[in-house]
Amino acid sequence: MVSKTKIDFLFYCPDIEKNRCLDLADSMHVAKVLRKKQGDIIQITDGVGGWYRCAVSDPNPKACKFEILEEQKEYNKAKREIYIAICPTKNADRIEYFIEKSIEIGVSGIFFLKTQNTYPKKINNERFRKIAISAMKQSLKAYLPFLSELILFSDFLKKHSEFEQKVIAHLANDAEDIISLDIKDKILVLIGPEGDFSTSEIQMAKESGFKNITLGQNRLRTETAGVLAASILNLKL
């Protein structure tokens, strides 16, 4: 168990077991912004549940080195795995907002889907990953959510049939309100593009075992629907 220490910032070191050195950006932050000295305490995560209380051994702004004092595995592990499959928006700022806020709230992974009405033909995975890492550190989480490449909708349905509970946010007559849904320990939520899923895509999802749900009676933007779904599923524990 890691001792309780005031946490000013969380740093990320994915290969901490092999390399006791922060990357350039985090090293600069430790040395130049926080002005940490040798022996000062910092908190580091490996992004896969490891939380480490460390002491700065060399506050080099280009390669800050540290020693591990305490560690804890599966730090604040989520009680439910929430995966959201969503279509990138025409305005990149909106899908980036979703990535940031959904990770701060709590999701285990995000799939990016290419549907009939998906406008962007490609996504900037490197930028998305940087946003995800920043959101993880901002919200003091020890798990970096999975981010997929842009996947064709039909391929996604074929490749990801392992989920115990699969729902699609769609205003249909048989749709159940997400509030009243009996939520399992692992759930996958489909969020449509700006212009919604096509009739054939909705049918494909239904044939793949997806159940219709609603997020309320109001029409929501894609990113708003994603953030709302993540919020409700985290609150209903």
Domain boundaries, given as residue ranges, for the chain: 10-72, 81-235
pLDDT tens for each residue of the chain, 237 residues long: 665 556 779 999 999 989 999 999 999 999 999 999 999 999 999 999 999 999 999 999 999 999 999 999 999 999 999 999 999 999 999 999 999 999 999 999 999 999 998 888 899 999 999 999 999 999 999 999 999 999 999 999 988 878 889 999 987 777 888 998 899 999 999 998 888 889 999 999 999 999 999 988 888 899 999 999 999 999 976
Global confidence as pTM: 0.93
Q: Is residue 165 within 8 Å of residue 68, measured between CB atoms?
A: no
Residue 89: φ, ψ to 5° = -90, 160
Q: What would the pLDDT profile of 41-60 be if each residue is shown by its tens digit?
A: 999 999 999 999 999 999 99
Class of domain 10-72: mainly beta
Question: Domain 81-235 falls in which CATH fold?
Answer: Alpha/beta knot (3.40.1280)
